[in-house]
Structure 1
C-alpha cells in the first residue's frame, strides 16, 4: 500500500511539475508561445552577409495571403534586405514559399493587436543584439531597400527612434483615441521602424500594453506603448533634421486609392522619391512595381557610367591626350557580346555636357530645335502648331521630375522647398546618336519654412542634356530559363534571331481569334466603292491578285460599281453571271471585262459586283456592300487607291475581335510624284521604305476600317444622308469612340495610299469642302519639298511666282 502511495505521489509530482513548467513558461512569454525552436532565428534565410545585419524586417501576414501577397513580398524587395526577413502569421499557418514563424496562440482575426505585439516581442527576445534596426511591415507594402538602407545608416541606432508616417487619427476619430496632446502614433500601413534602443525599452512592457488596450487600432496602441516605455513619439517631419530625406509623409507614402493604388502610370514623383509605398493589394502590382524600381536603378547606374566616362575624358584632356585614346585604351579588345567589361562608346559618352558639343560639318547636319509653348511648334511638319504627342508629354514629364529632384536635393538643409508650377516655354532637339537637348523656362514656387517664412513665384531656366547610352536586348528562353546564345559573330544575325524568337513565342501564345469555327482563316470581305477610274482599278487588281489570288487567301472582293452614264439599272453580278461583253469604251464596261478576265484566269468564285445607277456617295456605296455580307462576317472598307501586303491581312484578322475591337489602321499616304520625282506609282511594298519626303502617315484619316457586320449594326452604320466627298468615316469613328468597342489604331506598313489628284466639288457642304481642300493641300508634298520647290521657282522666275509656277 505504501509502495502504491509512493508511486501515485511520484506520478502526481511529475504532472504537477509539467503543469508548473508550462505555467512558468507562459508567465515568461506573456503574449503566447512562439514557433517551435527549429523554426526560429538562425534558420531564417539571410539575403546578405552576417556582417551587414543592419535590419530585421518582420512582415505581418495571414494564412490566406502566404502564397500570394507574402510570396510577392519575398520574391521582390524581400531579396534585397541588408539583414533578415521573416513572415509572422497565425498558429496554424504553413508555407514552403516564405520563411515563416507561426505564432502559437495567435489567430488571423482582425484587428491584429496580439499578432503585432507578439511579433515585436519575438524580435526583442531573439534578435535585439544582432540588428541595429527593426521594421514592422504589412504584406501589402513595397519597400525600396536601397533608399531605406541609406536612411538608416545615417541615423544613430543607439538612440531611441520611432520612425513612421505620423498620425493622430482622422476627423471622425479625433478625440476618441485617448491620445494626450504630446502623443501620436506611426501609421502601420506604410511601415514602422524602431531602433535597437527603442525595442530594448519596449520589450519588457509589451504584455502590460497588450492587457491595457484603449482602441481596436493596432498602430495606435503600439504608439501609446512606445511613448510609455521609451518616452518618445513617432517622428514628426520637422524632427527629421538628422535624416538625409525630407518629410515622413513623403518618404513613407500611403496612397488613398486603396485597391487601385499603383495600378496606373508609375512615373509619379511620389513613386520616385518614396522609401515605402502602400498599399499594394495585388501580387501582380507588387511585381510590376518591383520591375519599375529595378528599371530606375538601372538608369541610375547608367548615369554613373556616363559620369565616369566624363571624368576619364577630363583626365585625358588634363594629360593632353586625345579623347579618341579613351576608345582605344578601354574598348579596343572588348565587345558588347563577349565581355561584361564593355561599357559603351567613350567618345560619345565621355563628352562634357554642352549645347555646342556636337559640331556640324554641313548644313544638313545642323540639329533642328522644336519650340514648346502651350502647343508644339515645328517648321518640319505641315501642321506647324499642334498638341503635344504622348511621347513629348512623357519626355517632358521625366525631365521636369528629374530637374525638380536635383533642385530639391538639399532642400531640407536649406529650410526651403521649390515646387514646379508650369512650363512657360522651351526648346528641344533630338539626335539619335548624341541624345536630347532641352531648354526650359519654368515657373516655380519657392517656399521657405525656416527663419523668415515666405512663398514667392520664381522663374528659372533649365538647360538639360540627356546622353543616349547603348541599346541592350536580353531575351530569356522560357523553356530552359537560359539566356539566348549570343556568341554569333554577325550582329545582324543575332538581332534577327532575337526578334524571331520573340515573335515565335508571341505567336504561340496568341488566341485563335482570327480563325473561324472550322479552323480555317477568317474570310475577309473587302468592300470597294468605285466610280470610273479604270486605270487605277487596274493597278489595284494587279496588287490584289499578287497578294491574295496567287497565294489563295481566304478573301472576297465586293465591288460597288457606279454607272456614270446611267445606262443600266441597279443589279448584282457575280462571276458566274459574267457574259462576254462586246468591245466597249466606258470605264464601267472595261472594269467589268477586267474582272471577268481575273475570274477566268484564277477560277475565282469570291467576287461580287453590284452596279449602282445613282449619284456617287461613299457612305451609301459602302452600305450597298455591307448589305451583301452576313452578320457574322469580317469586312474591311477599302479604297481603290490603296495597295496592301499579305502581312496586313494577318494584322487585320488579329486586331478585329467580334464584340470587342475595331481596327482603324493609319495608312501611309504618298505625296504628289511630280514633286518627289517618283513617277512610278507601281509601289513594291517588299522594298518600300516610308520616309517624310515620300509621304506621311495620315493620322486623321478614318476611311479604312475593319470590323464585323454585327458590330457595324450595333454602331448604327454609316450616315447615308451624307452626299459627296468625305465625312462619313469620321461619323462612324465618333460612334465607335462612344461605344464599348475598343479601337485599335496604329500605323500599318502594309497599307499605302498612292497619290491621286483630289478634285473638290464647290457645291459640297462647307465642312466637307474644307476637309477636302485640307486633304488636297496636305498631300502635295512635305514641307521641305515645298520649300525647295518654292525657292527654286523663285530663283528661276526672278522672285515672281505666278499661279502656274
Structure 2
C-alpha cells in the first residue's frame, strides 16, 4: 500500500496527459481504471528492477572488500619478512587498505566534540578525572569550559581548558552553557558531526556513544537526551507548552551539526529571554524556538542517558547492574575517585568482550583447520603463514580454547575423575562438601547474575524490532559444576515473562531451560613486589606453554599442575632483596613445653640453618609457668643461642602477668620500629621457607596486610590411629581442614597496625583479639587485606582447652574450634557406626535427662 500511494500522483498526471491528447476518443471509467492499474504495475516493475540491480552490485562489492582487507591485514600481521614474495597486484592492493585505516581514524577524529562544563574549584579533581578516564577515549575532541579567570592546575598542564570571556563560576551556569555552544560552533562547527554538552560529574562510554551516533543521520537536526518536563513541584512553572520538553543536562545532551548551526547565531537572544533558572530548560526552549525540534521523545533514552537519583551515593556500590551495562552515560558521579572506579570497571567489561572475541576467533580457527584437513585441496598457501612457530602455537591454543560450547567436552577416564553437579535452589546442595546444604556462595551468586544478564541481553537484542521484550523473574532450580580446564557449566530452569507491546498486547509467564558454559581463557599472571608490578610477560608465556603441554600429553587429566618459572634475569636481584627483608616473629608463650620444643626445632631448621633474616621475640608469661617448666624453656632457648652466637636470633620478653595473647603481641610490637615487618605466630605452628617468602611478598607497607589461611590437622588418633601425624605437610580432606575463619596468624608492618588502633589489650583469655584486629583492618579505607591458603603453614593438632570462665560467645567459639579438629564428617560418621549401640544409648539417656529437667 505504501508503494502505490507513493507512485499514484505521478501516474494520475501521466493518464491526464494521455486523455488530453485524445479528446475525440471516448474512454469509459472502467477502461480508465484498468489503464491506471496497468501503467502503475509497469512503472512499479521498472523501479523494482533498478533497485534490485543496484542492491546486487552493492552487496557483491561489500562481500568482496572485507575478504581482501582481512587477507591483506593477516599477511602484514603474520609475515612481514615475506612481503617481497607477494605478487605485485597483491602488493598494490595493500596500499589502499592502509589509507582506508587512516581514513577511518580521521573519521573517528571528526565524529564528536565534547564540551564539559566545569569550574575552577573542580579542575584538579572532577575535570582531571574525566580527562584521565573517558575523555581520552572519545572519538573526536574534548574541551573543558570554565570561567574567564580559570587556569590549568599544576598537576594537569595538558588539560584542554577554555576560559570563557565574561563568564564566572556562579550557579546556575546558563551563560556558561550558551557561550560554550557558541564557542563550539565558531571554532569547530565545520569539523565535527556531533556536539555533546556534558557536566564534569558524568561518565560517558566512548565505544557505545560512537556506535550510537554512527546509527543516526548527522546531516539532519537532532536534539538527543533524556526528555524531561520538570519534577512534580516544577510542573506547569517552566513556561513549557503541552507538547514541549527539554533534554536533562546531567546525563548529557547531544546536538547534531545542523541543530547547532541553527541555534548558535541566536545565543544572545536566548540569553536575553530566560524564563527560569534552569540551564537545560532554557537550552531546550532555545532549540525548540530556532531549530524547531524537541528533545527525543523516547522511553529508551531513560536507560541510554541514565540518571541515578541516589545523589552522592550514586555508583558507589555494586556496578554489576543492567542499568549500568545498558547505559551510554552515567550521572552523577560526585566523588572524582569514583570516576576512576567506574572507568576501571568499564575497562574490565572491554577486556571481557575482547576475551569473548578471542574465544570466537579460536573457534573459527579450529573449525577452519578441521575443514582444511577434510578438504586438502583448499589448504592454506604456506607463503602467507609466518616463518616461526606462531601459527602452530595458535592452532594448539585453538585446540584447547576453541572447542564449541558443549557439556560433554570432558570425558572422565574413571569414577574418580567425574565432576559432580551441585543442585541450586534457594540453597546449594552438594555431595562433595562437608556442609551438604548451605547458602549460595557469593562468587557463585555473582557468576549466576553475570550469566543471566548476558543471556537476557542476547535474547532481547532485537526486541525493539520485534515489538516484544522478555524479562527475567527468577531461577526456579538449576545445576552447576566446575571444570578447571574448560570452565563452569550451568543447567538452569528459569522463569521469564514475555511482554508484547506492539500490535495485540499480551503478558505471558514462560519457563525455559538454559544450558550454559563459561569458557576459561589463558592464564595471566601479575606479580607485585613492594607495590610495583614486575615484568611477567615471559612468566605468563611459560605457564601457558605448560598448560598446553599438560593438555596435549593428557587431555583427560582432572588435576592440572603448573610449574612457575622465573620471568626475567632481574628476578635474581629481586629474589635477593626479598630474602634479605627482616621478619620480626612474635611468639606468645605460656607453658606448652613439648609444643615449644617442636617449634624451636622447626625455627632452627628453617630460619637459622638456612640463614633466613628472622628475629624471634618470645613473650614469656611467668605466672602461668612453674619453675621447672620455666627452667626447661630457658634451657631450650640457651642451647640454640649457643649454637649461633654470632647471630641475634632470639629475644625473651618476660611478663609477670596472667596469659593474654593481645598483651603479648602488643609487647612484642613495641620492640621494633614503625617500618619493621611483624609476623605473629603461635607455638603450635610449623612452617617452611616458602611461608617466609610469601610473608615478605604479600605484606606491603601502607597497602596490604597478609592473613594466611592455615591448614589445621585433625586428631591423628582418628585419622592415623596414632598419637602423631607421620607427615605434617600432607594436605587432603582426611588429614585436616583449612581454617578459613582463623585470623590469629598474620603479618603486617607496625605502622599499619598503629594506624588502625592496635590490639585491644583489655581482651584476656582465649580468642577474639585476632578477630577484633581483623575487623579494624576491614574498616580501614587505605589498607587492603590479602587472604590466601598457605600449604606450608601447618597447625599441629592439640586438644583445645576451653576455660569455663570465658564469656558465652567466646566459649561457644572455643567449643566449635575444638569440635572441628576431631575429624571430617566421614571419619566421625564411621566412628559412630562402629560403636553405634553405645552412642545411641548415650544419646537416649541425655534426651531422657533433659526431659526430666524440663518437667
Superposed pair shares fold, TM > 0.5:
yes
Tell me if the contact between 1:648 and 1:748 (Cα under 8 Å) persists in the aligned partners.
Answer: no
Cα distance in 2 between the residues matched to 1:782 and 1:322: 57
Cα distance in 2 between the residues matched to 1:451 and 1:155: 26
Deviations 1:736-794 (A, max 9, x none): 748996595724627634443648899999988976775566445566x859x969x99
Residue matched to 1:607: 652
SS of residue matched to 2:271: helix
Is 2:770 the partner of 1:729? no
With over 3 angstroms needed to count, the CA separation of the structure-2 counterparts of 1:81 and 1:525, relative to structure 1, is closer
Residue matched to 2:178: 117
Cα distance in 1 between the residues matched to 2:324 and 2:104: 25
Residue matched to 1:668: 711
SS of residue matched to 2:172: coil
Q: In proportion to residue count, which structure has more helix? A: 2
Please report how far the alpha carbon of residue 138 of structure 1 lies from its aligned counterpart in structure 2 after TM superposition.
2.2
Deviations 1:307-346 (A, max 9, x none): 23334444555667399x999999997989x799958711
Tell me if the contact between 2:460 and 2:470 (Cα under 8 Å) persists in the aligned partners.
Answer: yes
Tell me if the contact between 1:141 and 1:189 (Cα under 8 Å) persists in the aligned partners.
Answer: yes
- What TM-score does the superposition give when structure 2 sets the normalisation length? 0.67
SS of residue matched to 2:598: helix
Is 2:313 the partner of 1:256? no
State which of 655, 659, 662 in structure 2 corresponds to 1:621.
Answer: 659
Please report how far the alpha carbon of residue 420 of structure 1 lies from its aligned counterpart in structure 2 after TM superposition.
3.5
Tell me if the contact between 1:185 and 1:222 (Cα under 8 Å) persists in the aligned partners.
Answer: yes
After TM superposition, the structure 1 = structure 2 runs for residues 589-604 of structure 1, keeping only pairs within 5 Å, are: 593-595=635-637, 597-598=639-640, 600-602=642-644
Tell me if the contact between 2:304 and 2:327 (Cα under 8 Å) persists in the aligned partners.
Answer: yes
SS of residue matched to 1:200: helix
Is 2:277 the partner of 1:200? no
Is 2:567 the partner of 1:497? yes
Cα distance in 1 between the residues matched to 2:529 and 2:651: 43
Residue matched to 1:142: 203
Cα distance in 2 between the residues matched to 1:406 and 1:248: 20
With over 3 angstroms needed to count, the CA separation of the structure-2 counterparts of 1:537 and 1:738, relative to structure 1, is closer
With over 3 angstroms needed to count, the CA separation of the structure-2 counterparts of 1:329 and 1:360, relative to structure 1, is farther
Residue matched to 1:290: 343
Residue matched to 1:465: 517
Q: Which runs of 5+ in 1 are unaligned?
A: 1-45, 239-246, 509-514, 564-569, 574-585, 613-619, 721-727
Please report how far the alpha carbon of residue 214 of structure 1 lies from its aligned counterpart in structure 2 after TM superposition.
0.8
Please report how far the alpha carbon of residue 199 of structure 1 lies from its aligned counterpart in structure 2 after TM superposition.
2.5
SS of residue matched to 2:590: strand
User: What is the aligned length?
Assistant: 695
Cα distance in 1 between the residues matched to 2:618 and 2:529: 42
With over 3 angstroms needed to count, the CA separation of the structure-2 counterparts of 1:522 and 1:188, relative to structure 1, is same
Residue matched to 1:715: 760
Please report how far the alpha carbon of residue 471 of structure 1 lies from its aligned counterpart in structure 2 after TM superposition.
2.5
After TM superposition, the structure 1 = structure 2 runs for residues 94-493 of structure 1, keeping only pairs within 5 Å, are: 94-95=151-152, 96-238=157-299, 247-315=300-368, 321=374, 342=394, 345-455=397-507, 457-473=509-525, 486=538
Residue matched to 1:32: none
Cα distance in 1 between the residues matched to 2:528 and 2:631: 59
SS of residue matched to 1:379: coil
Tell me if the contact between 1:476 and 1:484 (Cα under 8 Å) persists in the aligned partners.
Answer: no
With over 3 angstroms needed to count, the CA separation of the structure-2 counterparts of 1:559 and 1:466, relative to structure 1, is same
Cα distance in 2 between the residues matched to 1:340 and 1:98: 47
SS of residue matched to 2:196: strand
With over 3 angstroms needed to count, the CA separation of the structure-2 counterparts of 1:201 and 1:333, relative to structure 1, is closer
SS of residue matched to 1:174: coil
- What TM-score does the superposition give when structure 1 sets the normalisation length? 0.71
With over 3 angstroms needed to count, the CA separation of the structure-2 counterparts of 1:356 and 1:53, relative to structure 1, is same
SS of residue matched to 2:353: helix
Cα distance in 2 between the residues matched to 1:611 and 1:477: 41
Tell me if the contact between 1:647 and 1:750 (Cα under 8 Å) persists in the aligned partners.
Answer: no
Please report how far the alpha carbon of residue 68 of structure 1 lies from its aligned counterpart in structure 2 after TM superposition.
4.5
With over 3 angstroms needed to count, the CA separation of the structure-2 counterparts of 1:85 and 1:541, relative to structure 1, is closer
Please report how far the alpha carbon of residue 212 of structure 1 lies from its aligned counterpart in structure 2 after TM superposition.
0.1
State which of 531, 543, 559 in structure 1 corresponds to 2:602.
Answer: 543
Tell me if the contact between 1:662 and 1:706 (Cα under 8 Å) persists in the aligned partners.
Answer: yes
Cα distance in 2 between the residues matched to 1:451 and 1:624: 72
Please report how far the alpha carbon of residue 597 of structure 1 lies from its aligned counterpart in structure 2 after TM superposition.
3.6
